[in-house]
Structure 1
Amino acid sequence: MGELATLPVFFDLKGKRAVMTGGGAGAAWKAELLTATGAAVELYVPREDLGDEMADFLASEPVSGTIIHHDRPWATDIFTGAAIAVGDIESEAEAQAFVCAARAAGVPVNVVDKPAYCDFRFGSIVNRSPVVVGISTDGAAPILGQAIRRRIETLMPPALAGWASLASKVRGEVMDRLAPGPLRRAFWERFSDSAFTTRSPGANAEEDARGFVADLAHSAAAGGRVTLVGAGPGEAELLTLKAVRALQAADVILFDDLVSDDILELARREAKRMLVGKRAARESCRQEDINALMVRFAKAGKHVVRLKSGDVSVFGRAGEELDELRRENIPVAIVPGITAASALAAAFGVSLTHRDRAQQVRFVTGHSKKGGLPEDLEWAALADDHATTIFYMGGRMAAKIADRLIAHGLPADTPVAVAANLSRDDETRAAGTLENLGAIVGRIGVDRPILIGVGRVFTEHAEAAETGAPAAISAAG
């Protein structure tokens, strides 16, 4: 554990006495917070010192707790029996007196916007009660704390509150019937998946949860499942939130060799990681072996994440894996990722379906199962001057792709864009014309993960390349 600026604690104030002074907006917000915890708030301030916000709050009905207004200034007698004291005080002398009186009575105290007089601080709060997240910057950067809160709020759907309440109902049964360790974690991981992917617990949610407890108690294998996760083009920040949650819930991760280390760093530390990459012209795992690994681990009760670069459903052999898992009656889910074509468009700053240049976009594999150029493609249809065509895994076939397209009528000066290692630190981009495609790819290197874009949406990049070399090659950043 590194150094902590403050100790984060969660203070139970339900039914406890909290004393306050101050009638401004800051005091009104603190009074609302304290009553929300169920505290019995007593406010000591003359009526003429009440601001509009505090007056409105006193006239409302708190969601929890109570608030009583005493029409008089605070005095040393108010602290007896109090659990907490809060003051919204302008004067330094009065603030010091308030703090001294509270501390003399053994009551922790906070003076709004005066850190030197605070025994504790109110951080930014994400409220999904009973799940509550507090964020503190130790008073150094409140705006940063608010920005962090907004980021966390995107990770925690409002319906999480209902799931947390349901968790409290089934927790006893989980503790009684499931042994500590893998079984309990299997239950809570599956439960958490529902909490983050469902709007709110349905009518049968409690029954389903208890049924899963019973299944796990009967057989550990009941917890086995597979999630096919798209890792995107490479940059960790391009992962979806759902993909990150899957990685952090995994027992076993079977990953391709195009998956970056930064992405693997986001996975659960205890997860077993196994490289099962498949690359052209390299020795690699057979698809049958990968299928067998998924089945074996899932039947042992493990949550298996099959982590693939790009999007699972685009040239990722997901169909074969889904068929095998369903034959074995293993639960399987898909988490989509950003496909390389989208990353290519972002890298070149273009729209793949610019309405003045392309009325359709096509994703095409650049090589066949045998490693050569696919012979069953409709090359005449692909040679369309009003479409954008993206060739995946086409590096070694680049020259042949260009020859076929030109032979079927696509102009030799059709713009092309080529990228390797998209969204990574060593990303390389180039542009030019179709007749030079083979040479462009050759300069980038055919042994790297290559993506080829063909179409008039890349016109400006091709024209810029022609003013210098046949193709301008640049590294990202």
Structure 2
Amino acid sequence: MQIVSRQPSDHAPARMAPLSVLPVFLGLRGKRAVVVGGSDAAAWKAELLAAAGAIVHVHAPADTLSGEFRRILSGGVPPGALVHIDASWQAGGFTAAAVVVADAASEAEAEAIRGAARAAGVPVNVIDQPAFCDFMFGSIVNRSPVVVGISTEGAAPILGQAIRRRIETLLPHALQAWAGLAQRLRGRLNERLEPGAGRRAFWEGFVDRAFGAPPTATDEAALNRDIERIGSAGIPRTGRVTLVGAGPGDAELLTLKAVRALQSADVILFDDLVSDGVLELARREAKRILVGKRGGRPSCRQDDINELMLKLARAGKHVVRLKSGDPMIFGRAGEEIALLDAQDIPVEVVPGITAGIALAATMGISLTHRAHARSVRFVTGHSSTGGLPDDLDWQAMADPSTTTIFYMAGRTIGELVARLIAHGMPGGTAAAIASEVSRPNQRLWHCTLGSLAATMAEVKGTGPVIIGVGAAFGARRSAGLHQPDGLVQRQA
């Protein structure tokens, strides 16, 4: 048998997928903005510009002002933020403005306003007429100085609002106070610490606090002590490694701690099966290195991965070893942890959802349903020699009260079935197969132990496959409940 190995590769997916628009946050404090029109829509944009610190010149005859516009002009915004010009707009009024926002009465007027603004070199937004806009307004989550903007490029404003509501629930209002504290600390931090690992270490500690209760004087004093401690002690020469479970593929199944690790990484060593959606959540500046390991394919040697982890950590990097599923389930994490411990390199483990649990969740099946199973086993169907492991407890796995999840068993499925049946498991025992579980192209099959090998032959493609055997897999089907899309049922 020829063994082919490949080296770690920098050929990773693009760090940024194509953008329909570029999100840019524009500083308007003290700058002049022009609003054309006196409608409610124009009033809202004027109020928004004033909230951003702009001095807003409103061009609209007094008799065209809506009740809402009259309200904000009479005291709805800070004094001096709005200047009403009782006249229709003139092209000369756009000169030296930061932005122009207009509620045009017709397409002809919209085109004229856009032409005048562009002649003056000023970006323009014509309300509800995207063809005449240089920029768009999006939905806003306001935790100033933290501001989150959401754009659907005008295609689905209601969707943008729904996304805003979801984000609102994730960002505590205390974040505003923490961001203000960050502004107060930044000057001293920059004086005391040089750019690089020291500053990163401080901000990572800061972020750990920022999603809790509002900051107190005690918190501020502690953070100032952190600045002094890091500045006095210097930066440790050794970095750290975090083993992160990427889950079965769906990025929404990541834990918050996993996302935080990806956002703080200097280098990410990721497996073949890690999805692009998961990588998209990583820090943009992080270097990404593919160290894929796939059965039956050219793969990186574990020794090469270990050597690379050590080299990067010794250089002071935060290395995230991103593994599909859970790093502690058939992920060789034990070997990597032992190596890092022996070299005195700090290592942390962030668990992920393993494929067997994703299979159960997707099919709506309890692996330990009390009417069908008293135990669950996760078993590898593939040894280092390519066949079934020699030391599996087949008698225990054939127990009808056990649910067994087989990983990496696609090429050994025939012998696996024969062994289970030989040890007394009935051929009619319920079974299931999932290909690409939790991913957009997932496929699911219900079958029996006796038809498992034949069903496996129907599984096409090169994606990961997980197999479940046990009475628990028959419970939901026999109850006649709704089955997931893409489910194929096969009888023995």
Aligned pair 1:303/2:318, yes or no?
Answer: yes
Q: 1:190 to 1:224 in 2, by over 3 A?
A: farther
Instruction: Give the TM-score normalised by structure 1.
Output: 0.68
8 Å CA contact 1:367–1:397 kept in 2: the answer is yes
| RMSD of equivalent CA atoms | 5.5
Aligned pair 1:275/2:300, yes or no?
Answer: no
Question: Residue 432 of structure 1 aligns to a residue in which SS?
Answer: strand
| Structure 2 equivalent of residue 142 of structure 1 | 154
| From 375, 386, 389, the counterpart of 1:372 | 389
Q: 1:425 to 1:26 in 2, by over 3 A?
A: closer
- Once the two structures are superposed, residues 71-109 of structure 1 have per-residue CA deviations (whole angstroms, 9 ceiling, x without a partner) of 955576988997655443536787789889989999876
8 Å CA contact 1:252–1:303 kept in 2: the answer is yes
Aligned pair 1:390/2:415, yes or no?
Answer: no
8 Å CA contact 1:226–1:330 kept in 2: the answer is yes
Aligned pair 1:230/2:245, yes or no?
Answer: yes
| From 462, 466, 471, the counterpart of 1:451 | 466
Deviation at 1:379?
1.5
Question: Residue 450 of structure 2 aligns to a residue in which SS?
Answer: helix
Deviation at 1:30?
0.7
Q: Which one scores higher on RCO, CA 8 angstroms, separation ≥ 6? A: 2
Q: 1:68 to 1:216 in 2, by over 3 A?
A: closer
Aligned pair 1:208/2:223, yes or no?
Answer: yes
| Structure 1 equivalent of residue 4 of structure 2 | none
| Structure 1 equivalent of residue 8 of structure 2 | none
- Matches for 1:342-361 after TM superposition, within 5 Å: 342-345=357-360, 349-352=363-366, 358=372
Q: 1:126 to 1:262 in 2, by over 3 A?
A: closer
Work out the CA distance in 2 between the residues paired with 1:444 and 1:79: 64
| Structure 2 equivalent of residue 190 of structure 1 | 204
Q: 1:113 to 1:264 in 2, by over 3 A?
A: closer
> Any unmatched runs of 5+ in structure 2?
1-15, 478-482
Q: 1:108 to 1:324 in 2, by over 3 A?
A: closer
- Matches for 1:40-439 after TM superposition, within 5 Å: 40-41=55-56, 43=58, 49-51=64-66, 53-54=68-69, 57=72, 62=77, 67=81, 86-90=101-105, 110-114=125-129, 121-132=136-147, 141-144=153-156, 147=159, 157-159=170-172, 161-180=176-195, 182-183=196-197, 186-187=200-201, 190=204, 194=208, 203-204=218-219, 207-208=222-223, 211=226, 214-215=229-230, 218-221=233-236, 224-234=239-249, 243=258, 246-247=261-262, 249-259=264-274, 268=284, 271=287, 273=289, 275=291, 277=293, 285=301, 294-295=309-310, 297-318=312-333, 321=336, 330-345=345-360, 349-352=363-366, 358=372, 362-366=376-380, 372=389, 374-375=391-392, 379=396, 383-385=399-401, 388-395=403-410, 398=413, 402=417, 410-420=425-435, 422=437, 430-437=445-452
Work out the CA distance in 1 between the residues paired with 2:298 and 2:248: 20
| Structure 2 equivalent of residue 12 of structure 1 | 27
| Segment drifting more, 256-265 vs 451-460 | 256-265
- Once the two structures are superposed, residues 315-341 of structure 1 have per-residue CA deviations (whole angstroms, 9 ceiling, x without a partner) of 435456556656766544444333212
Deviation at 1:388?
4.2
Deviation at 1:229?
1.3
Supply the AA of the counterpart residue of 1:190. Answer: E
Question: Residue 30 of structure 1 aligns to a residue in which SS?
Answer: helix
Work out the CA distance in 1 between the residues paired with 2:358 and 2:427: 25
| Structure 2 equivalent of residue 465 of structure 1 | 490
Instruction: Give the TM-score normalised by structure 2.
Output: 0.67
> Any unmatched runs of 5+ in structure 1?
471-477
**Percent pairwise identity:** 44
Q: 1:162 to 1:439 in 2, by over 3 A?
A: same
